[in-house]
Structure 1
C-alpha cells in the first residue's frame, strides 16, 4: 500500500468550485488507483484578526474536514499576512500543519508528501518531510515559479525548497527550464503534463452550440481568471479590429470592470460577452461553440484551458508562454503569436479563414490524458518511497560536523 499525503493550497472548495480543479482531478486519479490511499490537506490562508471575518466570512464557514467528491480533505486555516509579499506564508503554514499532521499520522502513517504547488506548500512540505522522515515531492505549475520564485520576499524560500525536495515535477519542459533558471536543479525535475477528460471535452455541433448562446457569426472565447497576466484585454483589443467577430470572456476576477469599460471605449460592447464564472461541468458547451479559443497570457505553465479547447475541436491562438510549443505542434492545433493585439488579431483571422477539421484539432490533445498523468504520478511517488529521503549537501555536511 502506498499512502500519500497530498498538500495543496490550490484545491477547490464550496466557495471556489473551479479553483485548482486540475489538482483535484489529478488527486482523484491517484486516490482511485489500486494499492494507493490518499488524504488531502488543503490549507486556507486568511488575514489575521477581524480582517478574516470581514473579507473571507464564506471561507470561515467551510468545514475543517469533509469528503469532497469522495476524497478525504482537511482544510486547516493558516495566517496569511497581507502587504509583506508572502514572506511569512510558509512559516505560518508550517505552524498550522504540524499539530494537524501529528494527529493524521497517528492513524495514517503516510509514506510520502505530495505538494502540488510550489509556494507556500513546497517549503512547508520540506520541513514536514524532515519532521516525519518521509520523502517529499513538489510540483511547479506556473505562478508558483514565475511570481513567488522571483519575488524578493520569497524567491530564496522557493529555491531552497527545490534544492532540498526528494522529487520535483513540472507541468511542462518550459517550466523545468524556468526552474533551472532560478537555481533549482533542472536535471532532477520530471516533466509531468496535466490531463484532459477526453470523454467530457469533445467536439459538438458548433452551429447549434452557438445558437444556444444567441451568437451568429464567428465566436472567439477567452477563458481564464480575470487578472492582468491572462491578457484578456489584449484579446479584446484584437477583436476590435475584426468586424463581425463576437468575443466571449469566461472567468471571474478583479479585471471585470476594466474589461467592460474597455469594450465600451473601443466601441465593441455589442460584440463582447462577459460570461462570469462558468462551472467546469458547463465548459464543454461554451468551448465547443467557439471557432477559436484565444489566450494572451504573459506567463503560464501548461494551461488546462488550452487542452480543453483542443479536445473540443476548437483551435487555439495563444502567446508563446510556458509549454505553448509543447501543445501547439501543428497548424491544425492553432497559432502561437506575439502577445500584442495586432499579432493576436492576425492569428485569429488566419484560423477563421482556414478552419481546421475538429477531429484534426482534437488530435493535438489526445496524448494529454488523465490516465497518463495518474500512471506517471504513481510511478514517481513510489520511486521516491522505495529510494527513501535523499540527503542534501547541507545534511551531509551537518552529519560530518
Structure 2
C-alpha cells in the first residue's frame, strides 16, 4: 500500500470551488486506486492581523482547519503571507506552519512520500519537510510556477534549489521538462506526465441543439482561463472583433476583468462578447460542446486542461506554440497552432467555423489523455520514489 501526502496550495474549498480543480481531480483519481491511501494538506496563506480581516481574506479565514472534502480528509493549515515581499518568505513560513501538523499526521498516517502539487511555495517547503521526516519528495511543475515564480529575483533561486534537492519531479508536458532542465534542474529526475480529462463530462453533443439550449444562434468561440494578461483574452477579443456575426464567451475570473470590459466596450462588442465569470465544470462542458472553437492566446502554458476539455467535447482549439501545444494539436482535426496575434487567431477561427472538422475526429485526439492513464503513471512514479527513500 502506497501512502501519499498530497501538499497543494492549489486546492478547491467552499469559497473557491474551481480553484485548483485540476489538482483535486488528479488527487481523487489517485485516491480511487485500491493500492493507495491518501491525505491532503491544502495550506492557506493569510496576512497578519488586522489585514487578515479584510474582505478578500475573510472567506479563507472562515474555512475549517480540517474537513472531509469529496470523501478525502483535507487539512487547511494557515501560513503567514507577508504582503509586499514578493513571496520571498512564503516557503519558509509554509514549512514552519506545516511541521507540527505533519508530526501529528504521521502518528496515524505514516506517509511514504510527499507529493507537492505546485513548485512554489509548495516545492521548497516540501523539501524541508522531506529532510526532516526522512521522506522522499515529488514536486510537480504546472506552468506559472516555473515560468513566473521561477524567474523572479528572490524566488527563482528557491525554485531551482528545490528542484535540485527533490528526489523526483513531474512536468505536465515535455516542453515544460525542457524548460526546467534549461533552468538547471536535473533532467534525470523529471518525468513528463500529461494531465487527464474527464471524458464522461466533456463529450460531444449535437452542436445546434447545444447552442439552442444556451440561447445562441451565431457561430460561437469560447475562451476558458483566468482573467490575467498571461492568458491573452484581449488578443481573442481583437480577433473576434474582425469576424462579423461571431460571438465570444469568456469563462474565467480575475484581476483583468475591468480592462477586458473596457476593451469590449471600446470596440462596440457588447452584443457579441459575453463575460461568464467563474463557472462550474458542468456549465463549461455545456458551453464547450456548443462552441465552434475554443481559443486561448496564452503567453505561456504547461499543458492546459482547457485544451483537452475542448478536444474531448469535439471542439477544435486555436492556441499559440507554447508548452505542450504540439503534444495536443497533432492533426488538423485538433485545431490550429498560430502566432500569438489577433490576425492569426482570426484567420484560424474563420477557417474552423467555415469548415469544421468532424467532432469524433477532434474527440479522438483527447481520448489517450484519461485520468486512469494519468493515475497509473503517477502511482508508478511515486512508488519508485517511495522505494528509494529520502535520498536524491
Pair 1:341-2:342 in alignment: yes
1:261 match: 262
2:391 match: 390
1:43 match: 43
2:64 match: 63
Written as runs of structure 1 = structure 2, the 5 A alignment for 1:235-384 is 235-384=236-385
Q: CA RMSD in A?
A: 0.9
Written as runs of structure 1 = structure 2, the 5 A alignment for 1:156-175 is 156-175=157-176
SS of 1:45's equivalent in the other structure is strand
Report deviation, 1:308.
0.3
User: Greater CA deviation, 210-219 or 323-332?
Assistant: 210-219
Contact 1:150 1:182 in 2 (8 A): no
Per-residue displacement from partner, 1:177-203 (whole Å, max 9, x unpaired)?
A: 110111111232100110001111100
2:7 match: 7
Report the Cα distance in structure 1 between the residues aligned to 2:35 and 2:297, rounded to whole angstroms: 42
Report deviation, 1:260.
1.4
1:143 match: 144
Report the Cα distance in structure 1 between the residues aligned to 2:84 and 2:206, rounded to whole angstroms: 48
SS of 2:253's equivalent in the other structure is coil
Report the Cα distance in structure 1 between the residues aligned to 2:198 and 2:132, rounded to whole angstroms: 37
1:21 match: 21
Written as runs of structure 1 = structure 2, the 5 A alignment for 1:134-213 is 134-213=135-214
Aligned length: 391
Q: How high is the TM-score relative to the length of structure 1?
A: 0.96
Report the Cα distance in structure 1 between the residues aligned to 2:92 and 2:335, rounded to whole angstroms: 43
Report deviation, 1:69.
0.5
Per-residue displacement from partner, 1:246-273 (whole Å, max 9, x unpaired)?
A: 0001111111121111111112111111
Contact 2:127 2:165 in 1 (8 A): yes
Contact 1:8 1:41 in 2 (8 A): yes
Per-residue displacement from partner, 1:341-373 (whole Å, max 9, x unpaired)?
A: 111111111111220000000011011000000
Report deviation, 1:389.
2.2
Contact 2:251 2:284 in 1 (8 A): no
Runs of at least 5 residues in structure 1 that lack an aligned partner in the other structure: 392-401
Contact 2:289 2:314 in 1 (8 A): yes
Report deviation, 1:46.
1.1
Report the Cα distance in structure 1 between the residues aligned to 2:83 and 2:141, rounded to whole angstroms: 23
Contact 2:15 2:59 in 1 (8 A): yes
Report deviation, 1:47.
1.5
SS of 2:286's equivalent in the other structure is helix
Runs of at least 5 residues in structure 2 that lack an aligned partner in the other structure: none
Report the Cα distance in structure 2 between the residues aligned to 1:114 and 1:35, rounded to whole angstroms: 16
Report the Cα distance in structure 1 between the residues aligned to 2:277 and 2:115, rounded to whole angstroms: 32
